[in-house]
Structure 1
Amino acid sequence: MHRQLNPLILSLSAILLCGCSSKINRTLSPPADTKWVNVEIKNPSPYTKPFPLEVKYISHQCLKKRVSGFDGSVITEPSYNAIQIPLQQQSGDIWQGKVARVGGGSCKWTLSAVTLGIEYIEATHLGKDLVLGTAVGVTLEFDDNKYRNQWLKSVEGNLHLSPKYYPYIKEKKIDKIENSVSLFGKDDFLSLRAKNLRKITYNPLIDESKITKLIGNEKKIKGVYPKIIYPDGSIAPERTLFPNFDKVDRMKVK
């Protein structure tokens, strides 16, 4: 798997290393009457594949303690439980899975967040010896963390998403670093606040007729920066860090 780990999982891993996480019972046991979130993903290309659902549960029953890095005080906070749920391929390009809103167990786990999306699994048609880069998708926040989620758009009921993505090839020259290919969109990972969400349908679109490239330098030279070259041959302003999705989306390429 060449996908870069989601920041959600990375931050969670750091949390689990703190305090008394080893004493927490992370066994899930959804009750019979739990509500489910159904996920359906339509794989847009034979060169991509949906990755397993990254699911995070939270417990306000089994608390953990950590030492503050600011003043050394002991902070008590909820525990988290990260799991992956494999998607099952149905007919054709449809993949499905479901997530329990209530994870149950002795810690009374409840759903905190779900991350889903797609990634390249093969890209020889786009170039030779390309390393498969990062994934794209959406993260849905379910717990009522006002500090983290207050600015997110809220969704409920049945959610249908059809984001568009384009290939982004990074050609790095210094130290013979391998070239990579990823997808990029308006939001590589869209974040939404979920309220009473029952079903998520994710139907991404990929347009490989427009390829954006980042061309690295042959060697380190002061004042010389990598260039982002758009599908029509135009070059992004110097020191541009990320390609402009709207520019690519509007672009007419022969």
Structure 2
Amino acid sequence: MFDQHLPQQRSVFEPTKKVSGDVLIRKDYYPRVSEHFLGGYEKLAWLLGEGEIYSYYRAPNARNVVFEPQLHADYVLYSVGPKVKRKGNYTRYTYPDGTVTADGRDPSFRRLQAIRLGTPQ
């Protein structure tokens, strides 16, 4: 945002990062390959990043805005949705190190970062 007006399609409750001067956005992203079976078969590729899908910056003095996504293509997260809708059937996530989760929670960006950086989880 380069002025005091709210952009279209944005809630006033979404967090905004205030920046003075130019803006450099450098974030990590991981590929996610998902298979869905309920409602028809579908296989999709996504990018998984940290936090919200959209980031908002208020930079009234910016002359340059640079976006440098850091794609870690060697660290793919695979997910397979349930084939039958039943209590306790959750999407199964397979992480690049071979660990599998299926506990109803969203995939963990922090786990992907830890695997890539070789840090304990």
Structure 2: which 5+ residue stretches go unaligned?
A: none
Is structure 2 residue 44 aligned with structure 1 residue 183?
A: no
Deviations 1:129-150, CA, capped at 9 Å, x for gaps: xxxxxxxxxxx464255x8278
Contact 2:2 2:62 in 1 (8 A): no
Q: Across the two proteins, how many residue pairs are aligned to each other?
A: 112
Distance (whole Å) between structure 1 residues aligned to residue 14 and residue 33 of structure 2? 35
What displacement does 1:237 show? 5.5
SS of 1:243 mapped into structure 2:
coil
Counterpart code for 2:38: I
Distance (whole Å) between structure 2 residues aligned to residue 183 and residue 163 of structure 1? 12
Structural mapping, 1:1-254, within 5 Å:
140=1, 142-144=3-5, 148=12, 151-187=15-51, 188-236=53-101, 238-240=103-105, 242-252=106-116
Of structures 1 and 2, the one with the larger relative CO (CA 8 A, separation 6+) is 2
What displacement does 1:202 show? 1.0
Distance (whole Å) between structure 2 residues aligned to residue 234 and residue 190 of structure 1? 30
Deviations 1:128-178, CA, capped at 9 Å, x for gaps: xxxxxxxxxxxx464255x82784220132111221111011111224321
Structure 1: which 5+ residue stretches go unaligned?
A: 1-139
SS of 2:97 mapped into structure 1:
coil
SS of 1:153 mapped into structure 2:
strand
SS of 1:174 mapped into structure 2:
coil
Structure whose alpha-carbon radius of gyration is higher: 1
The 1:206–1:171 alpha-carbon spacing in structure 2 relative to 1, beyond 3 Å, is same
TM-score in terms of structure 2 length: 0.76
Contact 2:26 2:70 in 1 (8 A): yes
The 1:236–1:174 alpha-carbon spacing in structure 2 relative to 1, beyond 3 Å, is same
SS of 1:246 mapped into structure 2:
helix
Distance (whole Å) between structure 2 residues aligned to residue 244 and residue 155 of structure 1? 28
Counterpart code for 1:236: T
The 1:150–1:250 alpha-carbon spacing in structure 2 relative to 1, beyond 3 Å, is closer
Distance (whole Å) between structure 2 residues aligned to residue 150 and residue 180 of structure 1? 27
